[in-house]
Structure 1
Amino acid sequence: MALTNAYVLPTNRIGDILGKIRDGQAPERFTQQLLKDWGFSSTNDRAFIGLLKALGFLTPDGKPTQRYNDYRDHSRSRVVLGEALRDAYGDIFLIKEHPSPADRASITGKFKSFHNVSDHVAGLMTKTFLGLLQHADLSGKASVAPTEEVIAGKRLSSRSASSSRRAAPGGAGPRRAGTVLTAASCMWLRRTRDFIGVQCGVNSTTKCDTPHSPNNRCYGFACTTRFDLTQG
């Protein structure tokens, strides 16, 4: 499982920044200057970038991921955030499937023991988690975030019937595991969301924009290279 150590001090502004993400256009890169343009000018606000990376909204170099764009859909933003919390704070959900502020003591204890931090820092991590939790829906799954079992081979093969009617660059169509995709094909699959949910193996040459999530799903593919779907 996983348990991020990212936290922010202005937890009262978590809702504000999530609102900016939902309502605005995804930037080419999420920077400190963008935070300032949004009204987050305090040095403490810079920690939001690290938090968004931990949630899988941004790549390590600050580029918005597919999850970032999925969150911008108001109709499912809460569910998308719920899945992000399960990925980033997996160990918390081992304590309680549906944690709440009433579980603050046990959550703080988990942060303290897992990261070997002081009570104060563990409290800040807990406050950040609970601040995010109130904006999330843990009851369902986002339609674009398949379960671990719904990996590329299964996901793509289910669309084989309709693929013959769709033109794609480089002859892209349903792809089985082991298929090497060109950049053009990858871009097409990304647009049609056939490429979401690819499970990366240890020896896979698939390149992810973000680190693997605990269930080995990849979000936000870098479509500038070739991809080898090695598992399925």
Structure 2
Amino acid sequence: MATLPYLTSPGGLAKAFNAIQSAATPPKVSGDFVKTVLGIRGGSGDNMTTFLKRIGFASSDGLPTEIYRKFRNQQTSGAAVAEAMRSAYSEIFRRNEFANLLSDEELKGHIVEITGSAADARNVTLTLSTFNNMKEFADFSAQEAVDQLAGDDGNSVESVRDQIRESLPEPQNKQRSETVGLNIGYTINLNLPATSDIAVFNAIFKSLKEHLLTEDG
């Protein structure tokens, strides 16, 4: 049976994550760094050090990863945690790609199925709590929108964004437009995913607004 990452003290995750964002990036995410700089002492510190490796914040030899660096950037921290969760809990997201929206009972069912543990086992409770604590720092909206647009065509995130950018005509004589008060309307044709989940569409248009529809065109 597969194992899923969890913390023996899930409540310490917020303390560790907040400390990571405020502290300088270390040469290595070592036990000393976790216990001294992040302030997670004792056995919980050892557990946290291993956990950070399992969720992709550090490599097997403790080197900070790209996800670690993205998490420290306030603009990309939420997406970084979402990416880390999709990787660390891939077995759960394989069963439901919107696992972050599931109820506790639904999540617990997947955890029991994946691990083979009893429903009342301590590791099941801790895994569920760790997942939920980590989810508080995650932003799945932009990633889910791009994933839906990419579909099964093998398109990368950047290629999808490039395709949308290419549908926007280049602004002509911006200064003249501002002078005469001319408003130009753009028509963007998107192949939207086949879903009835309004959250998916909200995420797509939020991503368009944030990343593409800027005043610079």
Q: CA deviation at 1:151?
A: 8.9
What CA distance in whole angstroms lies between the structure 1 residues aligned with 2:3 and 2:16? 19
Alignment map for 1:1-232 (pairs within 5 Å): 5-38=4-37, 39-93=39-93, 94-95=95-96, 97=98, 99-100=100-101, 103-118=103-118, 119-141=121-143, 149-150=155-156
Decide whether the 8 Å contact of 2:54 with 2:88 is kept in 1: yes
Letter of the structure 1 residue corresponding to residue 156 of structure 2: V
* Partners of 1:67 and 1:80 within 8 A in 2: yes
- Aligned partner letter, 1:150: S
2:56/2:65 contact within 8 Å kept: yes
Check whether the contact 1:59–1:65 (CA below 8 A) recurs between aligned residues: yes
Distance 1:114 1:18 in 2: 27
User: CA 1:73–1:150 in 2, change beyond 3 Å: closer, same or farther?
Assistant: same
Match of 1:166 in 2: none
Identity across matched positions, percent:
21
Q: Gaps spanning 5+ residues in structure 1: where?
A: 155-232
CA distance in 2, matches of 1:36, 1:51: 13
Q: Looking at CA atoms only, which structure, 1 or 2, has the larger radius of gyration?
A: 2
Which whole-Å CA distance do the structure 2 matches of 1:79 and 1:66 have between them? 12
- Residues 16-57 of structure 1 show CA distances to partners (whole Å, capped at 9, x for unaligned) of 111111122111111111122122112123211222112211
> Which one is further off, 124-133 or 82-91?
82-91
Opposite residue 10 of structure 2, the aligned amino acid is: T
Tell me: CA distance 1:7–1:49, structure 2 relative to 1, closer, same or farther (3 Å). Answer: same
Deviation at 1:14, TM superposition (A): 0.9
Relative to its length, the structure with more helix (as a share) is 2
Could you state the TM-score of these two structures normalised by the residue count of structure 1? 0.56
Give secondary structure in 1 for the equivalent of 2:82.
helix
Task: Give the secondary structure class of the aligned counterpart of 2:78.
Answer: helix
Residue 70 to residue 4, structure 1, CA distance change in 2 (3 Å): farther
How many correspondences in the alignment? 149
CA RMSD of aligned residues (A): 2.9
Aligned partner of residue 61 in structure 2, secondary structure = coil
Distance in 1 between the 2:99 and 2:114 partners?
A: 20
Unaligned runs of 5+ in 2: 145-149, 160-217
